[in-house]
């Protein structure tokens, strides 16, 4: 008899609220007979998120997903007639697609070699090189890390350009600021609703503009007064989001526990750079470390052979994906470094300490070669 193959440890295994936790919200939908188009659960969700984040009243607007939420925020906040929207090349494909949907050409900028986040000096240099040509900029939170809110606000002020934060994975690290922030509620994110997103806008007027954009550009009279899409989040997705918020403290605790278990085994390893604050100051649904002097590709392949699914979540960067081959760019050495050395390890809420230990042992073996 052949022994059963050991089960592969998956890179992600989302765990969203169970049916009994969602049921009370579904009953509200049955009662209201309101299923989409800014129904009562969406309105309550927006208000709840405003309170949760301490955002101004009316400043949170929901969207079908973060890709469309980003497109909406970029489209309504862009300033002037310039064709470009700055974005770090070190990001997920969604950022570039959203810029295009909003009607702009992504202008790819490098990231800081320390943080992996938009290099604001390089972004300022691009602004100077293309006066009047840049309508907006996107800053990206890598895998849920906090973004430098004060530096971003200073950049907006100095450059006279709006910044939209792609905070898709940063539910636990984002806060209201002069820059609109877009958070994903995708199943793979820290707080999951299946699909969905919300934008924390600087004020209610900006959120209203986003609400119009995600609803065909309609004004109060149902006249398409400006550009728009159907990018609304449904009442059903809102039901899951409410149930997820009810359980947020426990969910956050799970994410912190998994990260801390990893941290205890990996943070001291000399060839692994641990994201500052992960598992202590902020929680994330992904566990991405940087291999200091080892390429991640062969490690991912070796882990696969050992029954561990690891990932290069953002591939080789936006600039190396065929869809963005024609996007203008500056020099991108730090992006290339992050792309080559970032290793996404398995991470899910109910991951056992034994599974983490096994992944770490295999990863350290693979890194040593
Ligand atoms: N900006 C950034 C920086 C982002 O990272 C993202 C999304 C966005 C913007 C856009 O946000 P959304 O428009 O999605 O709201 C996943 C997610 O779909 C995507 O949300 C996420 N980032 C991206 C980094 O990862 P895939 O194509 O890699 O997912 P997939 O299907 O390979 O699933 C990942 C793993 O999870 C697999 O092992 C399968 C497992 N899985 C997945 C789902 C959805 C499950 O076991 N159950 C599930 O329900 O994109």
Look at ligand 1, atom 29, and give the residue with the nearest C-alpha.
Answer: 188
Cα–Cα distance, 22 to 237 (Å, whole number)? 10
Backbone phi and psi for residue 27, each to the nearest 5 degrees, phi listed first: -60, -35
**Does 65 sit in the ligand 1 pocket, CB within 6 Å?**
yes
pLDDT of res. 6: 66
Phi-psi category of 9—alpha, beta or left, where left has phi over 0 and alpha has psi -120 to 50? beta
Token pair for 233: 């989040």
Is residue 66 in contact with ligand 1, taking CB distance under 6 Å?
yes
**221-243 pLDDT, tens digit each:** 999 999 999 999 999 999 999 99
Report which protein residue has its CA nearest ligand 1's atom 41. 13
| Interval 320-364: pLDDT, tens | 999 999 999 999 999 999 999 999 999 999 999 999 999 999 999
Question: How distant is the alpha carbon of residue 55 from its chain centre?
Answer: 19
d(CA 291, CA 76): 39
Output the CA 186–ligand 1 centroid distance in Å. Answer: 7
Average pLDDT over residues 30-34: 98
262 in the Ramachandran plot: left (φ > 0), alpha (ψ -120 to 50) or beta? alpha
Structure token digits, residue 125: 């240099």
Sign of CA dihedral 44, 177, 152, 85: positive
Quickly count: other Cβ atoms within 10 Å of residue 204's Cβ. Answer: 17
Q: How far is the CA of 98 from the centre of ligand 1 (A)?
A: 15
**Ligand 1 center to residue 313 CA distance, Å?**
9
Mutate which of 111, 188, 231, 307 for ligand 1 pocket (most atoms within 8 A of beta carbon): 188
CA distance 164 to 71: 10
pLDDT tens digits for 251-266?
Answer: 999 999 999 999 999 9
pLDDT tens readout for residues 159-183:
999 999 999 999 999 999 999 999 9
The C-alpha atoms of residue 22 and residue 110 are separated, in whole angstroms, by 42
For the Cβ of 342 lying below 6 angstroms from any atom of ligand 1, the answer is no
Q: Is 187 in the pocket of ligand 1 (CB under 6 A)?
A: yes
Q: Cα 38 vs. chain centroid, distance in angstroms?
A: 23
Query: How far, rounded to the nearest angstrom, does the alpha carbon of residue 338 sit from its chain's CA centroid?
Result: 17
Q: What residue's CA is closest to ligand 1, atom 45?
A: 13
Give every CB contact of residue 107 below 8 A, 6+ residues apart in sequence.
Answer: 84, 85, 86, 87, 126, 130, 134, 327, 328, 329
Ligand 1 pocket member 313 (CB < 6 A)? yes
Q: Is residue 2 very low, low, confident or very high in pLDDT (cuts 50, 70, 90)?
A: very low
Task: For residues 110-116, give the mean pLDDT.
Answer: 97
Protein residue with its CA nearest to atom 34 in ligand 1: 12
Alpha-carbon distance of 257 to 292, in angstroms, equals: 24
Q: What is the CA radius of gyration of the chain?
A: 21
**12 CA distance to ligand 1 middle (Å):** 9
Report, as an integer, the average pLDDT of 41-62: 98
């Amino acid at each position: 008899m052949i022994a059963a193959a050991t089960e592969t440890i998956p890179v992600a295994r989302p765990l969203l609220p169970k049916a009994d936790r969602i049921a009370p919200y579904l009953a509200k939908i049955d009662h209201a007979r309101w299923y989409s188009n800014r129904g009562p659960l969406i309105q309550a969700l927006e208000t709840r998120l405003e309170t949760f984040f301490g955002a101004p009243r009316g400043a949170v607007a929901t969207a079908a997903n973060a890709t469309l939420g980003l497109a909406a925020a970029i489209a309504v906040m862009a300033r002037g007639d310039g064709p470009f929207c700055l974005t770090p090349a070190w990001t997920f494909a969604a950022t570039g697609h959203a810029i295009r949907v909003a009607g702009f050409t992504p202008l790819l900028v490098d990231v800081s070699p320390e943080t992996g986040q938009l290099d604001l000096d390089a972004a300022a240099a691009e602004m100077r090189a293309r006066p009047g040509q840049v309508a907006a900029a996107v800053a990206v939170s890598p895998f849920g890390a906090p973004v430098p809110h004060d530096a971003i606000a200073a950049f907006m002020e100095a450059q006279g350009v709006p910044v939209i934060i792609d905070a898709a994975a940063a539910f636990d690290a984002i806060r209201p600021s002069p820059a609109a922030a877009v958070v994903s509620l995708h199943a793979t994110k820290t707080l999951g609703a299946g699909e969905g997103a919300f934008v924390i806008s600087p004020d209610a007027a900006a959120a209203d503009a986003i609400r119009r954009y995600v609803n065909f550009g309609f004004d109060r009279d149902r006249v398409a007064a400006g550009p728009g899409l159907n990018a609304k989040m449904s009442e059903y997705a809102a039901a899951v989001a409410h149930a997820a918020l009810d359980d947020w403290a426990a969910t956050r605790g799970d994410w912190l526990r998994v990260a801390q278990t990893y941290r205890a085994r990996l943070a001291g390893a000399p060839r692994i750079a641990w994201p500052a604050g992960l598992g202590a100051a902020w929680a994330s649904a992904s566990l991405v470390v940087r291999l200091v002097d080892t390429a991640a590709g062969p490690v991912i392949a070796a882990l696969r052979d050992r029954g561990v699914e690891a990932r290069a979540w953002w591939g080789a960067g936006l600039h190396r994906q065929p869809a963005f081959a024609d996007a203008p760019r500056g020099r991108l050495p730090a992006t290339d470094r992050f792309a080559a050395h970032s290793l996404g390890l398995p991470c899910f809420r109910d991951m056992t300490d034994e599974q983490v230990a096994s992944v770490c042992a295999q990863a350290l073996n693979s890194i040593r070669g």
